[in-house]
Amino acid sequence: MRNEWILDVIADLKRFAEENGLPELADRLTETADIASSELTRAELVSVGRSLGDVGHLGTQYRADTPRGNA
């Protein structure tokens, strides 16, 4: 995951909250870390899926065959 640095930032903020008597903030940051982790994983899966999809269609073109004739 190339954006996991954000999880480190959230962990640092949570540690600060815990050490400075901010329990509600610490709890919210735990939730935030869970959400961030989930979304980063989802984004990574989408990115990988797009890459695989692109590779699967290299050199392939789809077009509708239209009749050429007299109008």
pLDDT of residue 34: 97
For the stretch 2-26, what's the b/e string if a residue is b when 16 or more beta carbons lie within 10 angstroms of its beta carbon? Answer: eeeeeeeebeebbeebeeeeeeebb
What's the Cα-to-Cα distance from 46 to each of 16, 18, 53, 60, rounded to whole Å?
33, 34, 10, 22
**Chain segment 9-66, per-residue pLDDT in tens:** 999 999 999 999 999 999 999 999 999 999 999 988 887 777 676 554 545 454 455 5
Write the pLDDT tens digit of every residue in 61-70. 544 555 555 5
pLDDT at 62: 43
Distance separating alpha carbons of residues 37 and 7, to the nearest angstrom? 7
Query: Can you give the pTM of this predicted structure?
Result: 0.63
